[in-house]
Amino acid sequence: MANTTVSVTKRVQTEQGLRYCPVVLGVDGRPRKDGVRVNGVAERHPEGSYYLDWYEGKKRIRLSVGKDADRAWDAKLKKEAELNAQARGIAIPTVTDRGSTLPAAIVDYLDEIRATKKPRTFTVYKLSLDYFKETCSKEYISDIERGDLLAFKVALRDTVELAPRSISNHFSNVVSFLKASGKEKIARKGDWPVYTEQEPETFEQEELTAFFAACNPSESLLYRFFLLSGFREQETQFLTWKDVNPGASTASVTHKPQYNWSPKAYKERSVPLPATFTKDLVASKPKTAKATDLVFPTASGLPDTHMLRSLKRLVQRIGMEPEHWWLHKFRATFATTCLQHGVDLKTVQSWLGHSDLASTMRYLKAARGAAVQAKVESIWNYGRSDAHMQRSRGTIRGAGQRSGV
């Protein structure tokens, strides 16, 4: 017998991440506003959108129906009536409810992202979905097919002219959106954009020496912190004096509810700093109480969201090439230097806050620079006299004859 039951769930943020949770029903048999059951316990979750869930044969269907509980319940009753009619062989007009439109589904999904993710993540997803909305001609989510995804990939390459890695990121974001909107397994394995993972770029010692020589004390302190801690940009923006432990000579990445900021992947960590640098950092702390607890605030005491712009201006001012300088390059230099000096992978992974070891292993690259070149010169004896090389070859031939080679 055909399955004619339709469930209503709400996709909300839980301690286990985003989950589809059943709604809580009131005494009137309709869902309570924002009420869901998480692991069997009733909770209130104003964030998220409602979904219909039913089976067509063995295929599970999940359809976004917006953020209004009453509308979601009406959609459930309508869909159950439709399934019952089909089970009895009654023809159903095909021009009835086709589910969410693409623009409406995007609005619902971005509302979820805004409520559950960081502002930067919201901005990235919004850009991906704006691109998709521009290239997709389908009005309803239910009409979107694999070909629309392939056309989206081509448009990002040929029309928007994005780099392969950016295309892959936008493609992945749109697939996640479609999955959340009920269009699962729409992309096949070979459809995903491929790109070559580039080796992380690092600063040479000569560059850093010249750079820090041109910095004023506050600039030197900020960019030395980036280099010696491996912190990301936002981790440095929201670093507070409570995160700095002079006794242990460490800096920590912690949750900052007062700034509505959380670490990437919600992972807190501590990183050891050179004691001399920690001493310099603590010495820079204002002697009088200020309205901010930030280590590197703006003049008005707010998080400095223009650290990259300031770096570019500084580099240009001292006559270097701005395009060769960015904040993440300090982090890459930190990671590579630690690994080249014998710090084990797992420890560097912990210091960087990476979720997987593969991300850390990208920084395991060959050393470069003047010191390395000097070693190469000494190993291969470049510049030796011809007479010396002749003697060397004779010694090699004699050794070969004695050994029977």
CATH, residue 307 = 1.10.443.10
Is 392 part of any domain? no
Residue pair 66/72 in contact (Cβ under 8 Å)? The answer is yes
Say yes or no: 247 and 232 in one domain: yes
Q: Write down the pLDDT at residue 400.
A: 43
The values of phi and psi at residue 52, to 5°, are -95, 145
Verify that 237 and 344 share a domain, yes or no. Answer: yes
pLDDT value at residue 163 = 83
Q: Are 120 and 24 contained in the same domain? A: no
Same domain? For 180 and 107 the reply is yes
Phi, psi of 6 (to 5 degrees): -120, 130
Same domain, 272 and 318: yes
Q: Note the pLDDT of residue 260.
A: 82
User: Does a structural domain hold residue 400?
Assistant: no
From first to last of its 405 residues, the chain has per-residue pLDDT tens of: 567 899 999 988 888 888 899 999 998 899 998 999 999 999 999 888 888 999 888 888 888 787 888 888 988 998 898 888 888 888 665 444 567 788 888 988 998 888 888 888 899 999 999 999 988 988 889 899 999 999 999 999 888 888 888 899 999 999 999 998 888 889 998 999 988 777 889 999 999 999 999 999 999 999 999 999 999 999 999 999 999 999 999 999 999 988 888 887 678 999 999 999 999 999 999 887 667 899 999 999 999 999 999 999 999 999 999 999 999 999 999 999 999 888 999 999 999 999 888 888 888 865 555 655 665 667 675 455 454 445 444 543 444 443 343
Task: Judge contact between 280 and 295, C-beta under 8 A.
Answer: no
> Same domain for 210 and 320?
yes
Q: Which of 40, 72, 97 is the last residue of a domain?
A: 97
Q: Which residue has tokens 């940009």?
A: 233
- Domain finish residue from 97, 125, 148: 97
The pLDDT assigned to 304 comes to: 95
161 SS3 class: coil
Q: What is the pLDDT of residue 336?
A: 93
- C-alpha 274/C-alpha 401 separation (Å) is 56
Q: What is the CA radius of gyration of the chain?
A: 30
Q: Does 143 share its domain with 128?
A: yes
In-domain check, residue 398: no
> What pLDDT sits at residue 388?
47
* Count of domains forming the chain: 3
The pTM is what? 0.58
375 occurs within a structural domain? no
Distances (CA, A) of 11 to 17, 239, 300, 364: 10, 33, 39, 40
Residue type at 140? Y
Whether residue 348 sits in one domain with residue 212: yes
Nearest to 257 by CA among 238, 229, 241, 244: 238
What span, in angstroms and rounded, lies between the C-alpha atoms of 87 and 98?
19
Last residue of a domain, one of 97, 131, 163: 97
- Same domain? 228 vs 293: yes
- Does residue 200 belong to any structural domain of this protein? no
Q: What pLDDT sits at residue 373?
A: 63
Burial of 65 (0-12, 13-18, 19+ CB in 10 A): buried
pLDDT the model gives residue 403: 38
Do 17 and 78 reside in the same domain of the chain? yes
Domain of 325, in residue numbers:
205-361
Same domain, 93 and 107: no
Residue 101 burial by Cβ neighbours in a 10 Å radius (0-12, 13-18, 19+): middle
Specify if 374 maps to a domain: no
Helical ranges in 159-216 per DSSP H: 164-180, 205-214
Looking at the fold, whether 87 and 113 belong to one and the same domain comes out as no
